[in-house]
Each structure stands twice: as C-alpha cells, then as structure tokens.
Amino acid sequence: MPFGAEPMTLAEKAYDALRRDIVSGALKPGAPLRMAQLSDRYGMGFSPLREALNRLQAERLVTSVALKGFSVAPLSMAEMWDAKNTRILIESRALRLSIEQGGDEWEAGIVGSLHALLLQAVRGTASEADARALEARHHAFHHALLSACGSGWLMDFFQRLYVESERYRHPMLAPRPGEPARDVQAEHEALAKATLARDADLACALLADHYRRTAQWVERMMTRPGQQADPVGEPIAGSVD
Amino acid sequence: MPFGAEPMTLAEKAYDALRRDIVSGALKPGAPLRMAQLSDRYGMGFSPLREALNRLQAERLVTSVALKGFSVAPLSMAEMWDAKNTRILIESRALRLSIEQGGDEWEAGIVGSLHALLLQAVRGTASEADARALEARHHAFHHALLSACGSGWLMDFFQRLYVESERYRHPMLAPRPGEPARDVQAEHEALAKATLARDADLACALLADHYRRTAQWVERMMTRPGQQADPVGEPIAGSVD
DNA sequence: GCAAGCCGGATTTTCGAAAATCTTTGAATT
DNA sequence: AATTCAAAGATTTTCGAAAATCCGGCTTGC
C-alpha cells in the first residue's frame, strides 16, 4: 500500500468538497443547502453530508436553523474587517513567537515556500489548476512564517481566519482593468526578509500592512457594483449594510 | 408557545449533553467514545450522535481517526499553558475594545453578572446544581466584560478557550486541604472595578494575572499525585461504568 | 376584505439495518 | 517459539425509508 494513502470516509470527502465549493464561491453566500440537491451534486447519501455540514457549521462556513436546514454562511463587509483585525492580532503574536523560537528548519520552510510561491506567481493563473496551486502555495507560505510559534491554538485560529479571508479574495481573483496593479509578491518577499532578519517589529508591521491592503482591495472590488458577480449573498437582498 | 421555547433537535441535545459530560470530566480525556455505548447513555440513535461528535471535533473537544471512531480529546499541561496564553491575548484585546466602546448597557451587564456571581459564591457549591450555577455565572461575568468589543471573531475565540479552560478547572473544584484559599471573587471585583473605571491597562493586567494564577493553581492540583482522579490521560481505565 | 386555521407537498431529521472496515483469535507454517 | 494468515466478531460508516416538521396556498368565519 502506498505510503500516504490513508483511508478516507465519504464524510471527509464531503467535507473537503463542500469546503472548497463554499470558499471558492461556487456555492454562493447565503444560499440554502438542500439535502437532496447536495446528495445529487456529490453523489452520496444524507448521512455523510450532514456530518460534513455540522463540522462546517462549527467552523462558521455554514449556518443552520433548527428544522429549516443549512445555508452557506453570509459574507459582509463588517465581518471582513473584523476578520482582518483579528487576523493581525493572532498572526502578529504568532510571528513574534516564531521569530523568537524558530530554528533552521523554520527558516528553510519560509525560503522554500516563498520560492515555490514566486514560481507559481510568474507562471500566472491561466488555468483553474494554476489558480488553485497559487492559492495553496500562498497558504503554505503564510503558514510557514508562523509555524514555529509553538502554539496549537494560535495556529488553529490562523487556519480559521485564513479560510475566512480566502472566501473574500477568491471570487475576485480575475485582475480588473483600471485597478492599480499591486505587487503582492514584493510584499511577500519583504515580509520574508524582515522575518529571516529576526526583525519582529518590522515583520509585524509589514504583515499588518499586507492584510490592511488586501482588505482595502477587497472592499474596493466588492463595493464597485455590477461587473463582478457579487459574492455577497443575493438571496438576502439588502444584507449589504 | 412560550417565548424562548425553540425547537431542539436530538442532535442539539446530544451536542449539549456530550459537551457537558466532556467538560465536566464525566467522560474522561482520551476515552474512546463508542457509538453503541453513547446510544445507550443518551437514548438516541447513531445519526444525531455522529452529528454532535463532528461538531465537537471541530471544536477540539473530541478527536477522531478515520475508521476507528471518536475519542475524548486528551488534556495536557502544554495545552493548558498554550490556552492560557492565547486567552490572555484574545481577551486583553476584547477587553480594551469593550472599554473603548461599551455603553450603559454593557456596564449594567457587568455589574449585574458580577452581583449574581457573588451571590452564588457565598451560597457555596454544596449541591451539584449549585456548582453548575456558579460555573454558568462565572462564564456570564467574563462574557459580560468583553461583550461590547464588537468583534464576532474575538468572542468566538473567547468562547472556545473558555470551554477549554473549563475542562481543566472543573475536575478539581472540590477545595483541597493545605491549599491556600484563593479569593477568586476579590479578583473578579477588582477586575470589574478597573474595567468600569475604563482603566484598560490595569484591567488587562488584572485579567492576565487572574488567568496566570488559575493556571498555576491547576498545575499544582494536577501535578500533585494521587488524592485526585487525575484528569490527564489514562486512556480508558474504568470505561465500564 | 381580512385574519385565523387547516390541508398537501416539500424538507429536514431520525431510525434501523446493511455494507465496509478494523481487531482479535487461533491454527498452520517456518 | 515466533510469524503469517484467515476467519469470526466487534465497530464504524453509509444507505434508504419512516417520522416529524415546515411552508405556501386555500378555505372559513367574522
């Protein structure tokens, strides 16, 4: 039996698939998730789907009302800003701890994941697979930065907030005309450099800036009406504050 | 239909019951959770139990391995210290925000919940019901302190970490001889006073101290061998009962 | 005309059994 | 004696149908 081949239950597959489709926006925020529909879409019975939905509910990706079923958790500007602020709080602490405690392996992880990220970035995001690879490497890089913090709780919160932010970023990955091209990768490089130089203050400032800018960018995209399938739930008309 | 009487599915009942039994230590850390056993204990089929377990897994109260089922999440000193530190980070921020933004209602909530907490404290924890009431009011007080922070994410993390800490505190509520009596309620009063005086620095310092002391107290209890059913590990021991 | 109450279909939730997988036992082999 | 293998038993996981509940439209009574 091949090395990493762990068994995978249907419930886990359902969890992965649902998570991906929610984060990518394929399932629109606010949309109700009907069991029959999901059963069709993913080719499985109710039981594994319900288990997945319950897990996702605990992660705030779906909501549920007692006997009315599940929905994709809605998105809102307020929530995005909240997530951004909390992210800065959590990751600043984790980054400082990592800078204090990180060893050679940690540094190697940062350098390596940054390199992989840049490679994929120049390759572009023509295909869907490329886009997914970029996202994965982006996550890996940010994870690597914090990975030496030694706190399971901080890493857990980091993961949660990362997913949340992904929901806002992903639907508008396509570059928009008239939008000043932002050199995200330069920010990543500067962040890595400050981190490896063990300059905690600078690194945290860069990190905070990085997220602030991303948030502002997302807000610009989302509040510009039309021209982009708005990722903020249509079912609930005026939920956009 | 009475006002607060929402419908409650079996899955929700299962979630509450399991959560309570895990936090209270009735289900021992590390103990495997067999479906048949749970089905007996809580008088319901597998489906609602599995849903509850999946939610609890996302909240780190239970763990699961692919085809081998669920277990109560283990406890460890390292995890406790980690939770304590993360708690201080999260709650300090939330407390500062609340102090900045809180209005009359927020203040009233603090005063009220502190009063209720003190009442129950002097009443003691003779009965099991009293102990539960004390725990509920303790939680309500800490919640009230932070409730004006305006951040859903901070409150969510607060809840998670509160539950975690409850797992460590609860098993050793019974006062121990030879242990210097600690006036926890005095700490609560000082904390409320500083908060209401809008002295953020002092309030945060008191909060951090409060948690540091609790952590030290728990560590003393848990590392003192014998004399207390140790809540750490012991895979199953008497799963018979 | 309008609120209240009640059917019928749609949907969620739960159960009980079947399918799939793991674990243990014990015999056969080296 | 130690190892391997297979069958039996135990346990988890999944399905399909039954039970419970919700939603929309309709009637009924005022």
Segment A20-59, tens digit of pLDDT: 999 999 999 999 999 999 999 999 999 999 999 999 999 9
More confident residue, B113 or B240: B113
Q: How big is the CA angle at B141 (ends B136 and B146), to the nearest 5 degrees?
A: 125
The pLDDT value recorded for residue A4 is 59
CB-based contacts of B208, cutoff 8 Å, min separation 6: B88, B92
How many interchain CB pairs under 8 A, A with B?
A: 73
Nearest one of A35, A135, A10, A23 to A72, comparing CA atoms: A23
Quote the CA–CA distance of A160 and B89 in Å, as a whole number.
17
Q: Are strands A62-65 and B62-65 parallel, antiparallel or unpaired?
A: unpaired
Distances (CA, A) of A181 to A97, A110, A217, A241, B159: 33, 25, 11, 28, 40
The pLDDT value recorded for residue A128 is 84
The pLDDT value recorded for residue B170 is 83
Q: Which of chain A's residues have a Cβ under 8 Å away from the Cβ of B57?
A: 55
Average pLDDT, chain B: 89
The pLDDT value recorded for residue B234 is 38
Q: How would CATH label the architecture of A77-223?
A: Up-down Bundle (1.20)
Across B71-100, average pLDDT? 97
Tokens describing residue B224: 């003192």
Q: Which residues touch strand D (CB under 7 A)?
A: A 9-11, 44-48, 51, 66-68; B 7, 32-36, 46-47, 50, 64, 66-70
Report whether pLDDT(B46) > 90: yes
Report whether pLDDT(B237) > 50: no
Q: Minimum mean pLDDT among B32-41, B122-131, B174-183: which range?
A: B174-183
Expressed in percent and rounded to 5, the helix, strand and coil fractions of chain A are 65, 5, 30
CATH topology (fold) of A10-72: Arc Repressor Mutant, subunit A (1.10.10)
The pLDDT value recorded for residue B227 is 46
Looking at chain B, the domain(s) classified CATH 1.20.120.530 span: 77-173+181-223
Element (H, E) at B32: strand B32-33
pLDDT digits (tens, 9 = 90+) for A172-192: 666 666 666 678 899 999 999
The pLDDT value recorded for residue A151 is 98
The pLDDT value recorded for residue B179 is 66
Across B143-152, average pLDDT? 98
- Looking at this protein, which amino acid is placed at residue A187? E
Q: Which of chain A's residues have a Cβ under 8 Å away from the Cβ of B16?
A: none
DSSP letter string, B216-239: HHHHHHHHS-SSS---S--SSS-T
Q: Which of chain A's residues have a Cβ under 8 Å away from the Cβ of B9?
A: 66-67
The pLDDT value recorded for residue A180 is 64
Looking at chain A, the domain(s) classified CATH 1.10.10.10 span: 10-72
**Nearest residue of A to residue B10, measured between CA atoms:** A66
CATH number of B77-173+181-223: 1.20.120.530
Quote the CA–CA distance of A100 and A97 in Å, as a whole number.
5
pLDDT digits (tens, 9 = 90+) for A153-166: 999 999 999 999 99
